[in-house]
A and B are shown apart, each in its own frame.
Chain A
Amino acid sequence: MPGSAGAGIARFRGVPASAARLAPTARGELFASPEKFPIERRAAIAVVSTPEVTTGSAPGRRNILNWLLGLWGGGVCGAIAYPIARYLAPPDIPESATQSVSAGSAKSLAPNSARVVAFGSRPAIVLRTPAGELRAFSATCTHLDCTVQYRPDLQRIWCACHNGQYDLNGRNIAGPPPRPLESFDINVRDDEIALSRRS
């Protein structure tokens, strides 16, 4: 094999380095392992691939041109990348300033039960404690954004995703949730429950 290195040079003279490296040289060598790729030939290709710099005053001009080329390339890439980056971030859609919603009939909510209702674009949970008191919280678990539910058997608010638990005041008391649930104000007018954000 080392003997064929010279032939390699002759064959690839004037051919770009990348082409020389990828070109099949002998039988079946397109898939040759690097062990079969002798150092001598790699060195030979490196020699061939060096651009022929000859003129005396060229390097200075070449540097400026390279710099300009880089500036142009950077500008083009930037001009493409910036709109794409901005496009990928979704636009801010102002959240409907929901301050108050209706949450159904108060009578139909039995003690030790609850219902989940929409509060704007997010769920809220309205529950009646075993003692008969109405309470309302955000139904979005403070751990990883799942929607919670009421567990009459535990008399707690429970998140099925990672077993987080909150007491009847919305306080996180077991499992991974880091914060209590946001609580809402409740007004009952003519059997109609109205939830409103606490100011």
Chain B
Amino acid sequence: MGGQLRAWLDERLALGEVIEALHHKTVPHHRYSIWYYFGGTTLFLFAVQVVTGGLLLLYYRPSAGEAYESVQFIVTRVPFGWLVRSVHAWAANLMVASVVAHLFSVLFLHAYRRPRELTWVSGMLLLFLTLAFGFTGYLLPWNEVSFFATRVGTDLAAAVPIVGGSVVRFLRGGDDVSGATLTRLFGFHVALLPATATGLVLLHLLLVQRHGMSVPPSIEHRATVERGTVRAMPFIPHFLLRDLFAWTIVLAALAALSTFYPWELGAKADPFAPAPAGIRPEWYFLWAFELLKHVPPVIAGVNGELVAVLLLGAGGVGAVVLPFLAGHTARTRRAVVWAGAAALAFITLMTGLALSAVAP
């Protein structure tokens, strides 16, 4: 029966060829192989977000009058609602961490170089989408902290000349952060962003399959010098089982964090209350938040916020086009390592400053 079904499906879908191909797939095995797992863990966390997000949708109500109460209902009344919401919030954070680890490992191991430029570009776009998911999802519980975070985050766009005002209105669905903003960001969070992300993830995965795993230049070089080959392990079952093991660890961490440190809901947003003391964004936006605190109102006659926004924009664009600028020679690869290390040091320093800051 099973064999018949398989033959029937195979005749129509030609899955045999795909499975056959997967059996021939190998993954390089060397001292940096551990870094190959972060793409997989990110994919796993994305799947967790799709599942838990779908579950939250069954009870969540996207309006200023009901959002906070509906989340309160989820975490207090719905069986395991607290767990679903906590897992969704924690997985979001772990996903950002996993994406960042993946990004820097690809950067430092020079996996972005020819012919994998488009894999890198699609990955960078997915990073931006992940942050957009974080930003739009943050407001949905309609609590005090998220309310001001959204006001600050959207108001940043106002610094851009000419189009800034329209962009802010587009993001907020009006002049102020209000119920209209909540509905709009909800739409982005559950429809627009997931659709885009799913397409990009498929493209990213297809490209990874097309090119296979990148071998770092240093390993490649050593293999050439020693006239050897780079060792490899079969994808099935060796790498797949290791991948599944990594996913199990992530799932265990997620369950532990959600159970022992359930995500807080905070106080309901009040548009006419002052921003609470000690307010600050999620850890992955802390460095930008700290940067904004230190940017003076005017820099060399130019609006300070505009300078900050332009610098961040230039950094983002530079990161996207990186494979087209560098990586072909050992010298440019060294420059990439230094630039990556500098960016990492800057982000760490700013995050540290933000964490140690005390209110006056």
Stretch from B13-21, B87-95, B242-250, B331-339 that touches the partner: B13-21
Q: Does A148 touch B at the CB level, under 8 Å?
A: yes
Distance A162 CA – B173 CA, assembled complex (angstroms): 25
A24 touches B21 (CB 8 A): yes
Distance A57 CA – B325 CA, assembled complex (angstroms): 46
Stretch from A59-67, A72-80, A88-96, A191-199 that touches the partner: A88-96
Q: Which residues of A, 108-152, contact B by the 8 Å Cβ criterion? A: 116-118, 121-123, 125, 139, 143-149
A90 touches B169 (CB 8 A): yes
The answer to whether A90 and B174 touch (CB under 8 A), given A145-B151, A162-B292, is: yes
Q: Give the chain A neighbours of B174 by CB distance below 8 A.
A: 90, 93
Q: Interface centre among A31, A118, A146, by most B CB within 10 Å?
A: A31
Q: Does B301 touch A at the CB level, under 8 Å?
A: no
B275 touches A178 (CB 8 A): no
Residue of A nearest to B159 (CB): A144
Distance A178 CA – B307 CA, assembled complex (angstroms): 13
B360 touches A161 (CB 8 A): no
A141 to chain B, nearest CB (A): 8
Q: Which residues of A, 17-49, contact B by the 8 Å Cβ criterion? A: 24, 27-34
Distance A93 CA – B296 CA, assembled complex (angstroms): 34
Distance A121 CA – B176 CA, assembled complex (angstroms): 8
Of B152, B274, B276, the residue contacting A145 (CB under 8 A) is B152
A123 touches B271 (CB 8 A): yes
B180 to chain A, nearest CB (A): 7
Q: Give the chain B neighbours of A143 by CB distance below 8 A.
A: 297, 305
Q: Give the chain B neighbours of A139 by CB distance below 8 A.
A: 274
Q: Which residues of A, 70-107, contact B by the 8 Å Cβ criterion? A: 88-90, 93, 95
Of A24, A93, A118, the residue contacting B272 (CB under 8 A) is A118
A33 to chain B, nearest CB (A): 5
Distance A88 CA – B184 CA, assembled complex (angstroms): 10
Q: Does B78 touch A at the CB level, under 8 Å?
A: no
Of B176, B274, B289, the residue contacting A148 (CB under 8 A) is B274
Q: Does B33 touch A at the CB level, under 8 Å?
A: no
Interface of A is mostly: loop
A147 touches B274 (CB 8 A): yes
Stretch from B37-45, B206-214, B251-259 that touches the partner: B206-214
Residue of A nearest to B280 (CB): A161
Residue of A nearest to B154 (CB): A145
B263 to chain A, nearest CB (A): 22
A134 to chain B, nearest CB (A): 18
Of B18, B152, B169, B271, the residue contacting A89 (CB under 8 A) is B169
Q: Does B47 touch A at the CB level, under 8 Å?
A: no
Q: Which residues of B, 129-179, contact A by the 8 Å Cβ criterion? A: 148, 151-152, 154-156, 166, 169-170, 172-176, 178
Q: Does B2 touch A at the CB level, under 8 Å?
A: no
B21 touches A154 (CB 8 A): no
Q: Give the chain B neighbours of A145 by CB distance below 8 A.
A: 151-152, 154-155
Q: Does A175 touch B at the CB level, under 8 Å?
A: yes
A178 to chain B, nearest CB (A): 4
Q: Does B359 touch A at the CB level, under 8 Å?
A: yes
B169 touches A144 (CB 8 A): no
Q: Give the chain B neighbours of A175 by CB distance below 8 A.
A: 293
Q: Give the chain A neighbours of B276 by CB distance below 8 A.
A: 160
Q: Give the chain B neighbours of A93 by CB distance below 8 A.
A: 174
Q: Does B23 touch A at the CB level, under 8 Å?
A: yes
Q: Give the chain A neighbours of B194 by CB distance below 8 A.
A: none
Distance A5 CA – B180 CA, assembled complex (angstroms): 60
Q: Does A163 touch B at the CB level, under 8 Å?
A: yes
A76 to chain B, nearest CB (A): 21
Distance A162 CA – B152 CA, assembled complex (angstroms): 10
Q: Does B304 touch A at the CB level, under 8 Å?
A: yes
A77 to chain B, nearest CB (A): 19
Q: Give the chain B neighbours of A24 by CB distance below 8 A.
A: 14, 17, 21
Q: Does B25 touch A at the CB level, under 8 Å?
A: yes
B303 touches A146 (CB 8 A): no
The answer to whether A160 and B211 touch (CB under 8 A), given A123-B272, A148-B274, is: no
B277 to chain A, nearest CB (A): 5
Q: Does B316 touch A at the CB level, under 8 Å?
A: no
Distance A176 CA – B304 CA, assembled complex (angstroms): 8
Residue of A nearest to B176 (CB): A121
Q: Give the chain A neighbours of B155 by CB distance below 8 A.
A: 144-145
The 9 nearest A-B residue pairs measured at CB? A149-B274, A178-B297, A28-B24, A145-B155, A28-B21, A160-B275, A146-B275, A144-B152, A145-B151
Q: Give me the interface of A with B, judged by CB distance under 8 Å.
A: 24, 27-34, 88-90, 93, 95, 116-118, 121-123, 125, 139, 143-149, 154, 158-163, 172, 175-178
Jot down 16 A-B pairs with beta carbons below 8 A, ordered by A. Answer: A24-B14, A28-B21, A31-B25, A31-B209, A31-B210, A31-B212, A34-B210, A117-B272, A121-B175, A123-B271, A123-B274, A144-B152, A148-B275, A149-B277, A161-B148, A176-B296
Taking A28-B21, A123-B272 as known contacts, 13 extra A-B pairs with beta carbons closer than 8 A to each other, sorted by chain A number, are A24-B21, A28-B20, A28-B24, A30-B18, A89-B166, A90-B169, A95-B175, A116-B274, A123-B274, A144-B152, A160-B276, A162-B293, A178-B303
